[in-house]
Structure 1
Amino acid sequence: MLSLYRRYADAILAVLPGNRLLALDALRGLTITAMILVNNPGSWSYVYGPLRHADWHGWTLTDLIFPFFIVIVGMSLQLSLQRQSAVANAVVIKQAAIRSIKLFALGVFLALFYYNFRDPAYSYIEQKLLTLRWLGVLQRIGLVYFFSVLIVLYCGTRGRIGWLVGLCALYLAAMWYLPYADAQANQFSGLLLFGNSFAAWLDHSVLGASHVYYRSATPFAFDPEGLWSTLPAIASCLSGVLIAQWLQTERSLVQKIRGLLLCGVIAVWLAELWHFSLPINKSLWTPSFVLLSSGYCAIALAACLWLCDVKRWRRWSAPFVVFGANAILFFMFAGLAARALMMLSVGDTSLHSWLFSALYQPLFGDYNGSLAFALSFLLLSYLLMHWCYKRGYIFKV
């Protein structure tokens, strides 16, 4: 069995271009794998604590997944632009705009891909089109990517650091000091509460209460991928750009790994200290959360570099290379498949609920059954992603 896996892993890694940074590919694959795992439990009533998001302030391992992906976008952006140094800025900006629009459109498509066939009174127009959630994971990636491209193209290292710090400072200035009011003219300022912050007020006012994720939040409905929190999310992406710049220096690999570890540990330590005055909060994407998640991402990349390029232990990364090579396709397939399982019916319940209650729950119990369902979903997804990888099909936007 072990020799079979070795041959399988070697075949996957053999087709990677020689200039690819395997550690980054592996980290991207690990991140998207974790994202799909936590998004597809057998039942949301039975999810182990680390696989849930924090209720509000604070963090879990699950809270680190999306910012890891954003930081990795920044790393990939810097490495890509370095290879396109001879391309005119106008061309790069046009390509970035097209890619961002495609990502945004894919996110909207996912939001629209649902129909409740079990409810004869269900109105797709009223309950889906007219209440479309405009923002989401892919939409945020698209927005963050485009504005990060502009900053990287026209700013050097100091300018990028300045933008990173400036965006976080601007975000905090509004969150702490700008006054806002609810429908009853009650005035607020400086709050970081669920449904009561400047970011929540902005989402409620601009997007509307029926077009965000937390529609029932009071006094303001808001979105965890909302408008104002996009600013520090861009800062997260710029941290990835700076990490990639560090990797492009002339230092030895060991020095680069030590630098990543040192910066990562310091960033995490500072973020945890900052948490006492500025809570770490993913839904608000607070600057302390930027510092924490970017720090842990730097540590994770250092670990992958040590395993892949120092110890030369590479075979473990093969499945994650497959997932990471088609990260957007993987995310889209998982989203569509999960919605299809909810739409298809078995009797008066969804196929998803039936599979969990009739198969996984009796065999494995509540929590283990829910986890086993998510792992099965991953395995089936891998079969498709592996098929695409073997045939050289990479979905690019």
Structure 2
Amino acid sequence: MAWLYRHLEGILAATPGNRLLAVDALRGITITAMILVNNPGSWSYMYWPLKHADWHGWTPTDLIFPFFIFIVGIAITLSFSAQRAKGKNSAQLLKQALVRTIKLLLLGWFLALFYYRVNDPNFSWLEDQLLSIRLPGVLQRIGLVYLATVLIVLNWRWRGQLIWCLGLLLGYWVLMTWVPYADNHGNTFQGLYQFGNSLAAWVDHQLLGPGHVYYSDAQPFSFDPEGLLSTLPAIATCLSGVLIGQYMQGQHSLTDKIRYLLGLGAILVIAGQSLSAVMPINKALWTPSFVVLSSGWACVSLALCLWLIDDRGYRRWCAPFIVFGANAIAFFMFAGVAGRLVIMLPWGEQSLKGAFYQTLLAPHLGNYIGSLAYGILFLLVSYILMYWMYRNHWFWKV
């Protein structure tokens, strides 16, 4: 195992000596978990922690996306401090944010269009992909949330940012609870948080249309889990990361930071669970209770990483996650393209992915372990490329 020791130490040696690795490690853990969840051997055989909640409630998987957006908020604080120190003004930072948002939107739409059913003679890429493109998505939400958060950060200090954060949550709750809406049959609804029947779903149905959202067949309203109205509380998630990033930059001891994050995280988790009595915890609707809960768990997770990595000095285990996190968007794009290719490419009457899982993994490991093993193997293959990029100092900044 000497080679593994040298490999991990080589990764850590390339990191700045005065840098807290906890944020880098948490980013890497988050994107790794996202890719693992998105690439099982079979969607029919997944252990419950790797599955989203059916509707209300939450699983560990439901925390992954808000964790990533929370970390985007921390990164905004750290990045802006460094760039202001180099002399960049607000106009330059805003221009940079606009360019980054456009890139994220285009990358998201590229993944939405990157698919072709090779063995289906009736498949029309123009009709089935381009003209029915899913407009929202993970990268699209990150881009919009990032831009909105940057606008707030550039124009308000921490008190204003906190007011925005709370105001977005309260405003979203008021809209979802008190604004009535109607279907095409004249039926009026108000205050519902049902699958396909909420104000957020109604907005998606009216503005995006059934042909351009994830849940196109939902009734009475089609909607998207990364839809328009639910982007508002997602901005609050990012602002919570901004505020935590500002605290992390303060002149506090590492021990004080760990205690603060643990205490605040515990309070937010309890508050989020308590708020579920008023509004359900729901990731697809990004409810305020979900924001409070997920931000709380993000604080707890960051505190644990700080304690384990930067305080206690247990660092080697996080080295692969630093590699993945250093090129998080490149990793996401590679996984998206590769994950689609193994489905598109035929192998006999099956896809390449289906044949690999059903022929090599499931018969020997069982359906569930085989499905998990496929995801782990996908990560290992991805790591080869991500480590090559890391070793050659190629960091793809969108």
Fold-level match, TM-score > 0.5?
yes
Q: Hey, what does 2:65 align to over in structure 1? A: 66
The one-letter code sitting in structure 2 at the alignment partner of 1:135 is P
- 2: CA distance between counterparts of 1:279 and 1:187? 21
The one-letter code sitting in structure 2 at the alignment partner of 1:394 is F
Output aligned runs, 1:250-265, within 5 Å: 250-265=251-266
Mean alpha-carbon deviation: is it higher for 15-24 or for 294-303?
15-24
Q: State yes or no: 1:101 paired with 2:102.
A: yes
Output aligned runs, 1:100-139, within 5 Å: 100-139=101-140
Mean alpha-carbon deviation: is it higher for 141-150 or for 78-87?
78-87
- 2: CA distance between counterparts of 1:140 and 1:178? 24
Output aligned runs, 1:177-326, within 5 Å: 177-326=178-327
Q: Hey, what does 1:15 align to over in structure 2? A: 14
- 2: CA distance between counterparts of 1:14 and 1:129? 46
Output aligned runs, 1:26-105, within 5 Å: 26-85=25-84, 86-105=87-106
Any unmatched runs of 5+ in structure 2?
A: none
How far the C-alpha of 1:20 sits from its partner, in A, is 3.2
Give yes or no for contact 2:20–2:310 (8 Å, CA) kept in 1.
Answer: no
4+ long deviations beyond 6 Å: none
How far the C-alpha of 1:197 sits from its partner, in A, is 0.2
Q: Hey, what does 2:155 align to over in structure 1? A: 154
- 2: CA distance between counterparts of 1:349 and 1:314? 43
Q: State yes or no: 1:334 paired with 2:331.
A: no
- 1: CA distance between counterparts of 2:138 and 2:18? 29
The one-letter code sitting in structure 2 at the alignment partner of 1:39 is N
- 1: CA distance between counterparts of 2:342 and 2:262? 42
Deviations 1:200-240 (A, max 9, x none): 00000000001000011000000000000000000000000
- 2: CA distance between counterparts of 1:166 and 1:270? 17
- 2: CA distance between counterparts of 1:133 and 1:7? 45
Deviations 1:235-287 (A, max 9, x none): 00000011111111111110011000000000001111111221110000001
- 2: CA distance between counterparts of 1:139 and 1:41? 23
- 1: CA distance between counterparts of 2:378 and 2:114? 19
SS at match of 1:133: coil
How far the C-alpha of 1:308 sits from its partner, in A, is 1.4
Mean alpha-carbon deviation: is it higher for 328-337 or for 272-281?
272-281
Q: State yes or no: 1:346 paired with 2:347.
A: yes
The one-letter code sitting in structure 2 at the alignment partner of 1:340 is L
Give yes or no for contact 2:69–2:237 (8 Å, CA) kept in 1.
Answer: yes
Q: TM-score of the superposition, structure 2-length normalised?
A: 0.98
How far the C-alpha of 1:381 sits from its partner, in A, is 0.5
- 2: CA distance between counterparts of 1:19 and 1:69? 24
The one-letter code sitting in structure 1 at the alignment partner of 2:299 is A
- 2: CA distance between counterparts of 1:93 and 1:248? 22
Deviations 1:324-347 (A, max 9, x none): 001000000000001001100011
Q: TM-score of the superposition, structure 1-length normalised?
A: 0.99
How far the C-alpha of 1:16 sits from its partner, in A, is 1.4
Deviations 1:339-384 (A, max 9, x none): 0011000112211111111111111101011000101101100111
The one-letter code sitting in structure 1 at the alignment partner of 2:191 is G
The one-letter code sitting in structure 2 at the alignment partner of 1:234 is I
SS at match of 1:221: coil
Percent identity for Structure 1 against Structure 2: 58
Mean alpha-carbon deviation: is it higher for 11-20 or for 187-196?
11-20
- 1: CA distance between counterparts of 2:324 and 2:83? 25
SS at match of 1:231: helix
SS at match of 2:252: coil
- 2: CA distance between counterparts of 1:209 and 1:395? 34
How far the C-alpha of 1:19 sits from its partner, in A, is 4.5
- 1: CA distance between counterparts of 2:20 and 2:330? 21
Any unmatched runs of 5+ in structure 1?
A: none
Number of residue pairs the alignment of both structures matches:
396
- 2: CA distance between counterparts of 1:387 and 1:255? 37
Give yes or no for contact 2:179–2:199 (8 Å, CA) kept in 1.
Answer: yes
